[in-house]
Amino acid sequence: MIKLENVTKTYNKSVRALDDISFEVKGGEIVGFIGPNGSGKTTTMKLITGIIRADVGKITVNGFNVRKDPIKAKESIGYIADSPDMFLRLKGNEFLDLIGDIYHVPTEKRRKRISEFAERFELTDALTAPMMSYSHGMRQKIMVVAALMHDPPVWILDEPMVGLDPKSAFELKQMMRDHAKAGNTVFFSTHVLEVAEKLCDKVMIIKKGHILYDGKLEELEAKSKNSSLEEIFLELTEK
Ligand SMILES: Nc1ncnc2c1ncn2[C@@H]1O[C@H](COP(=O)(O)OP(=O)(O)OP(=O)(O)O)[C@@H](O)[C@H]1O
Ligand SMILES: [Mg+2]
């Protein structure tokens, strides 16, 4: 689970990116986080992972307070950042080994999970090459493998499908479904509303640091005169 209670975040003492937001994502749920550019999605995700600190408010992940118990909270999280251009001087397998060491993934489990994921994403041959030489999609895929290697219960994925080919995007969506079905938490942001519509149990719509809607997709659709999430999104966010 992920729980935010009255969280506010200001950048440079002036830009209020999030204004007193509260929400909960429970185990077993896939929640899609949607909102216009600059509305606060990445900021929310970075706060949950502990990369940045809130001005005020309480954040709990898998029962652990992100401020008071940061290591336990971080161990529970698999995070895919919004850009995969990191550690480019390392070869794929060196990068995965580094991440495996940081998260204390035992050698056997590491080998098994890396080979499973690499095959699923058709990345096996690339693992011996420097990540500098990878295409955008290949970098994105290795970030997925790295984030999920330690088998975390809580997945926080910032636009995870960007740049993935159709087969890889299909595989990732299937993994997200299976993960939630097993009782775990999947919280992801996207601008592709068809993906949110197909994948999510619930959606959360954010604009200018305020949550406009947080609930079941069917209930949102039932309340609106519009039929598609795209139309509802435009109506809500343009008001
Ligand atoms: N490091 C930073 N320093 C100053 N302001 C920032 C910083 N990061 C984000 N912001 C501001 O915070 C607000 C929210 O940005 P954020 O990146 O969370 O949006 P987003 O919803 O992820 O957008 P996108 O859909 O484009 O990814 C914006 O006004 C942005 O300019
Ligand atoms: Mg973002």
For residues 100 and 127, state if they share a domain.
yes
Cα 112 from Cα 114, distance rounded (Å): 6
Question: Where is the domain boundary, 102, 135, 151?
Answer: 151
Helix (H, G, I), strand (E, B) or coil at 210: strand
For residues 66 and 156, state if they share a domain.
yes
- pLDDT block averages, 10 residues each, the chain of length 239: 98 95 97 98 98 97 97 97 96 97 96 95 97 97 97 97 96 97 97 94 96 93 85 89
Please give the DSSP secondary-structure letter assigned to residue 137.
H
What pLDDT is attached to residue 116? Answer: 95
How many structural domains is the chain composed of? 2
The residue nearest atom 25 of ligand 1, judged by CA position, is 37
For residues 55 and 146, state if they share a domain.
no
What pLDDT is attached to residue 225? Answer: 81
Query: Ligand 1: which atom is nearest the Cα of residue 36?
Result: 25
What pLDDT is attached to residue 162? Answer: 95
CB of residue 229 inside a 6 A radius of ligand 1? no
Ligand nearest, relative to CA of residue 82: 2
For residues 64 and 109, state if they share a domain.
no
Question: Where is the domain boundary, 119, 151, 183?
Answer: 151
For residues 65 and 124, state if they share a domain.
no
Full-model pTM: 0.96
CB of residue 40 inside a 6 A radius of ligand 1? yes
Please give the DSSP secondary-structure letter assigned to residue 96.
H
The domain containing residue 147 runs over which residues?
A: 84-151
For residues 171 and 64, state if they share a domain.
yes
For residues 196 and 132, state if they share a domain.
no
CB of residue 227 inside a 6 A radius of ligand 1? no
What pLDDT is attached to residue 222? Answer: 87
For residues 162 and 196, state if they share a domain.
yes
CB of residue 14 inside a 6 A radius of ligand 1? no
Cα 195 from Cα 227, distance rounded (Å): 16
Question: Where is the domain boundary, 151, 178, 209?
Answer: 151
